[in-house]
Amino acid sequence: MLELQENEITSRLSAIVESSDDAIISKKFDGTIISWNNAAEKIFGYPANEAINNNISIIVPEELIEEEYKIIRKVKGGERIKHYETTRKTKAGHKILINLSVSPIKDRNGNIIAISNIARDVTRQKVADEKQAVLSSIVNSCDDAIISKTLDGIITCWNKAAQKMFGYTEEEAVGRHISIIIPPDRQQEEPMMIEKVLESVRVERFITVRVAKNKRKVNISLTVSPIKDKAGNIMGTSNIARDISYQKMAEEKQATLAAIVSSSDDAIISKTLFGIITSWNHAAAKMFGYKESEVIGKHISIIIPPDRMDEEDMIIENIRSGKKIDHFETVRLAKDGRKVHISLTVSPIKNKNGKIIGASKIARDITGKIEAEEQRLLYTQKLQQLNNYKDDFMAMASHELKTPLTIIKGNLDILLLSMREDNNSTFVQKTLKQIDKLEKLINDLLNVSKIQSGKLELKLADFDMNLLLKEMIRNIQPTTPIQILFEGSNKLMAYGDMDRIGFVIINLLGNAVKYSPASKAIKVNAFRSEDAVIVSVKDEGIGIPREELLNIFSRFYRVGGLNSTFSGSGIGLYISSEIIRRHGGKIWAESEPNKGSIFYFSIAASTQPS
């Protein structure tokens, strides 16, 4: 009974041993194999009849034989050995990784008589583990968001890029529904994609939009694939999302730039460093008459006039050294031979690595501007010529008028003397007055032409300003009932051309008299201020509007509306101001309409002690 039971146990045990997936081998202390199960055959390749009675060294790599005997000795000595990972070799010579447990086999009395080895082939698991590690490191280091989810849309895996792209951490995302990153108006996309995946259709590069945790929209390109279990059943999907926001922005920027280039009024042309045209916009076609298709691939010299070919070398030289050429005015040739004046800006085109690969040219048609400039120059020259004619005429006419006038005046003077008592003498006197006016006008005109031709000469010397003023007042007082008041008794030495300054004074006094018909007095004053002598003439006349005060010193300028009341030519103040300016002095006026004016001029005081 007992024996039967024992037999049964033994056969059961050997059935277990045989059906085990682990290799179970027993051996003597000298290494002779005494048992070898099916799994041992499967793992090591030796059938039992080849292995049994052979030495265990048939499966131990040479370098581990020593270790093997060391362990045998330890077990023999009663030491317990923990299972450990080691290497064995198969019949075919392949090395395999096994997990080994070593135990003693004892007889009924408890004596250790042999050793059993249980070996598990862990090579495959190890490979699988490594593969897993590689995959997960790929998933985590990938720039694309990789998300896996169940068919119900529950997120099961969420890599680092997904966290970066959508803002949710792995802990926040895993276990939640994928709809957290789908905008409301795109929620139907998810069931549609699941449907496709279930039909085993891969969804590839589907362009869509998702929302990040902070509500920012993310433009993505999405690829969805099924995840299958070992039996091939689809248990979920993996979504790979690529952020294309930047690409989209770049595309939009590109489109905007292209629109700008094509709508520009300036010709925009790009070319290689060898001068081969690579782009040609609408304006270039319009400006030079060549269609884009006619010039792409051609050399830029087709629009360069032969005598300007060296410009191109200069331009390319600059571009090669990274320099920009700004507003370079030149001429190009259109298809019909027409010359186009352009202002050219050329900049280097660089590739992503910063290497200069070509040049972009922006050409603005300045033909109109150049023509206008030429026209203007022509007009200015003509105007200058006319002005010269006029000055010449004025000089000639005044000179020619002066001689007969002097003779007429002389004869009239003689006539007047000889007809003292004659009633008609008043006519002669009146005629003489008019001749004086005419003479003054002619003298003025002569002075103007002298000023114009730069021939107004000054004879500079020291003179007494007070004396000059008194003399001029003495000359003019008899012609007017208005009292001219002046109290300059001391010497006031100035430095200048006394005759010319006399002319200025007469002119100012004459105006003060002429433009103050109703006033009683004109006040003249002269004083020294630092190194200048200043003279003022004050009247109580009609005055001058403020906005006219600067104009009155211009040639032929008269305050508006005066012509009918006061005769004059508008020359006197112009000549006076030129005389003072040539003296290095100043002339100016202060005035108030209907109250009167004060005219001032200043010239250098004499440097000699008086």
Q: Which of 153, 183, 275, 568 binds ligand ADP (CB under 6 A)?
A: 568
Phi, psi of 336, deg, nearest 5: -85, 10
Report the alpha-carbon distance of residue 482 to residue 562 in Å, rounded: 21
519 φ, ψ to 5°?
A: -85, 165
Nearest to ligand ADP of 270, 577 (CB atom): 577
**Which alpha helices (H) appear in 77-143, and where do they start and end?**
123-141
Structure tokens at 350: 């660089």
CB of 565 to ligand ADP, least distance (A): 10
Give CA–CA dist 354/186, Å, rounded: 41
328-387 residues in contact with ligand ADP (CB under 6 A) are: none
Tokens of 570: 């508008």
Minimum CB–partner distance for residue 416 and ligand ADP (Å): 27
Q: Label residue 267 left, alpha or beta by phi (over 0 means left) and psi (-120 to 50 means alpha).
A: beta
Nearest approach, Cβ of 602 to ligand ADP (angstroms)? 18
In sequence order, what DSSP letters do the residues of 394-408 get, joined into one string? HHHHHHHHHHHHHHH
- Taking contact as CB under 6 A, which single stretch among the options 81-89, 169-177, 213-221, 567-575 is the one that binds ligand ADP? 567-575
Q: Cβ closer to ligand ADP: 287 or 535?
A: 535
The contact pattern for ligand ADP, residues 475-514, with x = CB under 6 A and - = no contact, is: --------------------------------x---xx--
Q: How far is the CB of 525 from ligand ADP (least distance, A)?
A: 15
For ligand ADP, the closer of residues 577 and 606 by Cβ is: 577
Binding mask 508-547 for ligand ADP (x = CB under 6 A): ---xx--x-----------------------x-xxxx---
* Residue 513 C-beta: closest distance to ligand ADP, Å: 9
CB-wise, 91 or 440, nearer to ligand ADP? Answer: 440
Show the beta-strand stretches assigned E in 383-530: 461-464, 483-486, 493-496, 521-529
CB of residue 494 vs ligand ADP: minimum separation in angstroms?
22
Of 506, 466, 508, 505, nearest in space to 488 by CA: 466
At its nearest, how many Å lie between ligand ADP and the CB of residue 369? 40
Closer by beta carbon to ligand ADP, 524 or else 544: 544
For ligand ADP, the binding residue among 33, 115, 268, 559 (CB under 6 A) is: 559
Q: 166 or 553: whose CB is closer to ligand ADP?
A: 553
Pattern 92-131, binding to ligand ADP, x per CB under 6 A? ----------------------------------------
Closer CB to ligand ADP, 331 or 549, in the complex: 549
Please state the closest distance from residue 484 (CB atom) to ligand ADP, in A.
13
Shortest distance (Å) from residue 480 CB to ligand ADP: 13
**9 CB-near residues (< 8 Å, 6+ apart):** none
Distance from C-alpha of 529 to C-alpha of 525, rounded to nearest angstrom: 13
Instruction: Return all residues near 529 (Cβ < 8 A) that are at least 6 apart.
Output: 602
The reply on whether position 571 binds ligand ADP by CB under 6 A is yes
Q: Torsions phi, psi of 407, nearest 5?
A: -65, -45
Contact indicator for 315, 288 with CB cutoff of 8 Å: no
Sheet containing 325-333: which strands, arranged edge to edge?
Answer: 277-280, 267-272, 356-365, 339-350, 325-333
**In the complex, residue closest to ligand ADP by CB:** 568
Q: Shortest gap between Cβ of 331 and ligand ADP (angstroms)? A: 50
**Near ligand ADP by CB under 6 A: residue from 240, 241, 469, 573:** 573
What DSSP string runs through 275-324? -BEEEE-HHHHHHH---HHHHTTSBGGGGS-GGGHHHHHHHHHHHHTT--
Q: How far is the CB of 597 from ligand ADP (least distance, A)?
A: 4
Residue among 79 and 436 whose Cβ is closer to ligand ADP: 436
Q: What angle do CA 581, 583, 585 make, to 5 degrees?
A: 60
Task: Specify the residue, 128 or 521, whose C-beta has the smaller distance to ligand ADP.
Answer: 521
Please state whether beta strands 112-121 and 277-280 pair in parallel, antiparallel, or not at all (unpaired): unpaired
In the region spanning residues 31 to 70, those forming contacts with ligand ADP, defined by CB under 6 A, are: none
Cα 284 to Cα 207, 257, 326, 340, 366, distances in angstroms: 37, 16, 18, 11, 14
Tokens 């698991």 sit on residue: 125
DSSP letters, 20-34, are -SSEEEEE-TT-BEE
Q: Which two tokens stand for residue 504?
A: 């200025």
Among 552, 579, 587, 605, contact with ligand ADP (rule: CB under 6 A): 552
Number of residues that bind ligand ADP (CB under 6 A): 21
Nearer CB in complex with ligand ADP: 96/552: 552
Which pair of tokens denotes residue 514? 């002429």
- Closest distance of CB 557 from ligand ADP, Å: 6
**Binding-residue pattern over the window 202 to 241 for ligand ADP, x denoting contact by CB under 6 A:** ----------------------------------------
Residue 217: closest CA among 185, 176, 239 = 185
Point out which residues bind ligand ADP (CB under 6 A). Answer: 507, 511-512, 515, 539, 541-544, 552, 558-559, 562, 568-574, 597
